[in-house]
Amino acid sequence: MIADTRLVDDELGPVTDAKGVMVTQVFTKVGNTVTYEYDYGDGWIHHLELVVISTHPIDEVLPQIIWGEHACPPEDCGGSCGYKELKEVLLNPEHPEYKSTKKWVGSTFDPMVCDLKTIQQKLGNLGKLINDYEEGF
């Protein structure tokens, strides 16, 4: 959600309204990094780095994910501390909250698996999602 995000760019400094910033303003050269905070209440901090500038045709599906570790935390799980507790519960079938937690996150959710294929498929729909979002403004 753009209204609930902020990023800090090496050159632009703090940006509280990410909607007004183009990716090309932030990632001007390989090695540029951004610290991006999603959901102030939970305090999710993401560190992004431009590793390559593509010279492929414009219809290439971008952005692409090239690496990941563990699953994306579910919404409203309580930030990094809450997610740590969630993982402890899910990794222990004997835990008293295991069944209710598994029901909440879904039976196929595995906190230790980063599903790159599914993430890439969802990123392929990003253009449509952005258009739908911008039509609301």
pLDDT tens by residue, 11-50: 656 655 666 777 788 788 898 888 777 766 677 777 788 8
The tokens for 29 are 């050269």
CA 44 to chain centre: 9
Three-state SS across 46-92? EEEECCCCCCCCCCCCCCCCCCCCCCCCCCCCCHHHHHHHHHHHHCC
Strands 5-9 and 13-15, bridge-based pairing = antiparallel
- Would you list the domain boundaries of the chain? 1-55, 69-137
| Per-residue pLDDT tens digits for 65-121 | 778 888 888 888 888 888 899 999 999 999 999 999 999 999 999 988 998 888 888
Report the predicted TM-score, pTM, of the whole model to 2 decimal places.
0.58
Give the CATH number of domain 69-137; options: 3.10.290.30, 3.60.15.10, 1.20.1250.20, 3.30.70.3270.
Answer: 3.10.290.30
The tokens for 99 are 């069944």
